[in-house]
Structure 1
């Protein structure tokens, strides 16, 4: 998956400079077919080759070093994207992986999943966090809204979202914001590629609460990856036994969750509750 992300970043740099594959290949004296395989994540490349490619694309040094780090083989099958000084750095990695995925399973016990958050909900949520600056909030919200285009593609991934009841009942901002947010979820539940299921507080998985995670599945040979967020970084997990443990968690959550139809009816009733609170 790192190789696929590195390839996507190389392609983005080339296109940002308005260069064709043949033009870059000519500049570095490589076969265009080789560059195409690099960009599609189908062939490994050495760090010096990445530096050569990025130099041909006139890439700024800091950006080049970031992309070259993706080419370096990981020491294990757990890799981290720290936030550094701008929140959009690790989000870029997540966006690349989401767009490569063919299917996703997401569980969140404390908040509405980012791919389904309204802008007002997201803003109210981050404004409640004292350690975020206004610039960081604006960057994060822009990235979050841009990510949602994934579900509007002509070939979106098949997605299953499991949302804990407490995340839906926890008021973020005003009753109006929550009403709009729940209504947005109801509409999203009608998308053919999107399953939204509520995990009741009183259910076995609901009582356990656990932690937020997702599994992203890819076309061969990429298989699957688990993903989790912590306070200062994003964690990407490729180790197969570790990913299997996340599949076990999905099974537990799935057994406790309401069906899609029950969840939709539950969300409609919750929206009515928030609507009455507005009056």
Structure 2
């Protein structure tokens, strides 16, 4: 029987990837595949759920049974070597771990001080944001915009996670795209105001953007999203600090009705106000 290890967002992503490889390569169930390998059935289950740190021999046996070559094995070996660390650093292009964390979370809390929450962005805003950043090539932008739009489907599920998005007023003031894009984006936020709390411009809080995911059967994960790297954190002390941040935000943010009124001000803002705002970053 495999010894279970506390999973991370990245180990669950890699386990899910292994499951998909198995299902594409064979018609065997996990239990039947374990028997073929000579493993206890629980070993395949814990591995594919990201709760088991596989040895090099485990990976060789698992992947070779599926007909994978040495290069495929070396790639998985490299990625699994850090999969259970309390701090995982990934390039922003790796969206699987992010999407899996969002889709399996029980609760999602997020703070955005500079741009609007990705799960509430309209495609035109996302497109303009990528173009302003200048970190991705022109031809990759449509796929990234579509990926962000696809991730938003979790908010339409009947069993969607409980979400609360804190958005600093500086992010509301930053024009991304043209005036019509901002008008439509404000309208999207107003429609979802039950998920939004606006942090007023004069609120006494200084902090970087952060997400806190909580899960039914896994440890909480804090997530810091950047232009150069994304960081997934399960260190208990860091989780405590993330919770303290959201406690502070709850104290200084506007409530739902106040946030509704604030967003309504932006929706009704004259065009010349948008033009005066320019295209600066907050």
TM class by shorter chain equals 0.7 to 0.9
* Alignment partner of 1:135 is 2:139: yes
Mapped partners of 1:14, 1:55: distance in 2: 11
* Alignment partner of 1:171 is 2:168: no
Aligned pairs for 1:41-52 within 5 A: 41-52=50-61
CA contact (8 A) 1:100 1:218 kept: yes
* Alignment partner of 1:71 is 2:85: no
Write the deviation string for residues 178-224 of structure 1: whole angstroms up to 9, x where unpaired. Answer: 1111111122234xxxx21000001112xx2x21111111223x221
Instruction: Detail structure 1 runs of 4+ shifted over 6 Å in the superposition.
Output: 275-278
Residue equivalent to 1:21: 29
* Alignment partner of 1:232 is 2:228: yes
Residue equivalent to 2:159: 155
Write the deviation string for residues 26-62 of structure 1: whole angstroms up to 9, x where unpaired. Answer: 5534344432232223444324323432334445766
> How far 1:15 sits from its partner (Å)?
3.3
> How far 1:228 sits from its partner (Å)?
0.5
Q: What is the TM-score of this pair, normalised by structure 2?
A: 0.83
| Distance 1:19-1:277 versus aligned 2 partners, 3 A rule | farther
Q: What is the TM-score of this pair, normalised by structure 1?
A: 0.84
> How far 1:269 sits from its partner (Å)?
2.4
| Distance 1:268-1:172 versus aligned 2 partners, 3 A rule | same
CA contact (8 A) 1:226 1:236 kept: yes
- Secondary structure of 1:128 counterpart: helix
Structure 1 gaps of 5+ residues are none
- Secondary structure of 1:248 counterpart: helix
| Distance 1:256-1:34 versus aligned 2 partners, 3 A rule | same
Q: Which segment is superposed worse, 6-15 or 179-188?
A: 6-15
| Distance 1:61-1:153 versus aligned 2 partners, 3 A rule | farther
Q: What root-mean-square deviation, in Å, do the aligned CA atoms of Structure 1 and Structure 2 show? A: 2.7
Counterpart of 2:17 (choices 9, 32, 35) is 9
Q: Which segment is superposed worse, 265-274 or 196-205?
A: 265-274
Mapped partners of 1:53, 1:256: distance in 2: 51
Structure 2 gaps of 5+ residues are 1-7, 275-282
